[in-house]
Amino acid sequence: MRLDFCAVCGCKDNLHHHHWNARVLGGSDDEDNILTLCSYHHRELHGHKKKNHYKALQKVGIKKAKEKHPEKYTGRKSGAYTVNASAILHLRSQKYSYDIIAKKLKIAKSTVQNHCRQKIVDDLNKFSNKIAKKMQLKGEFDFQFSFRNNEAFGFFKLNGGRIKIDKISTNKILRKITALYKNYYLPNNDEYDKLATEFVEGWIQHKIKKLNEHK
């Protein structure tokens, strides 16, 4: 059933309509084949690390498209670009602006921005969970970036549940890591890791202090 909230946690952000029986396998868009979930619980349902499941469905979909319209299915059009995320990040670490990177690689500025933000979110997950392990916290951080909504959000997962991290805090720490990446990543990756980890550690300690004050 389509809902305006996640059927598991009640969250109203980043909702997905999960098909119990996948459409590429013949599943319909009928209400009894659909369950509304937030992006987090949608990924949990499919199995966060089981990428082969998605690849299998993708292969089935492509095969059916070829069988149904072989004359139309020619794959990627000639001249179409593929996004080289490594090239984007390399140029960004050399302090090129989003506009210049987009012109150099002949891609949209928004594509450049999104891949840079995804890199920072990935790094934030690495740094925050490294500190969580060091501090012996019982849960783990889960920061995500939505290409569709062009926004980042984060949670702290604990005992099967999750605590949402406010957007102001999330955006603040992402801006800081973005600045560190731009200034330090290429000339000295170790320095970037060190400074970013120190900043994230201070941020986590501040968050824990605030939580304790409100107990």
Residues 21 and 90 in one domain: no
Counted domains in the chain = 2
Q: Assess whether 114 and 190 both reside in one domain.
A: yes
Whole-model pTM: value is 0.59
One domain, residues 70 and 175: no
Q: Report whether 193 contacts 183 (CB < 8 A).
A: no
For residues 64 and 98, membership in a common domain is answered with no
C-alpha to C-alpha distance for 37 and 150, rounded to whole angstroms: 19
Query: What does R_g of the chain's alpha carbons equal in angstroms?
Result: 20
What residues make up the domain containing 133?
85-213
C-alpha distances in Å from residue 149, one per residue of 62, 110, 114: 26, 12, 10
Question: What angle, rounded to 10 degrees, do the helices at 109-134 and 98-105 form?
Answer: 120
Residues 75 and 92 in one domain: no
- What pLDDT does 133 receive? 92
Asked whether 122 and 128 are in contact (CB, 8 A), the reply is no
Asked if 175 and 106 sit in the same domain, the reply is yes
pLDDT for 28 beyond 80: no
pLDDT in tens, 170-203: 999 999 998 888 788 766 688 899 999 999 999 9
Q: Where are the alpha helices (DSSP H) in the chain?
A: 39-46, 51-68, 85-93, 98-105, 109-134, 167-184, 189-213
Pick the last residue of a domain from 19, 51, 80: 80
- Which of 8-17, 72-81, 104-113, 181-190 has the highest average model confidence (pLDDT)? 104-113
Q: Check whether residue 121 and residue 207 sit in a common domain.
A: yes
Q: Which of 58, 80, 102 is the last residue of a domain?
A: 80
Burial annotation 53-81 (CB, 10 A radius, 16+ → b, else e)? eeeeeeeeeeeeeeeeeeeeeeeeeeeee
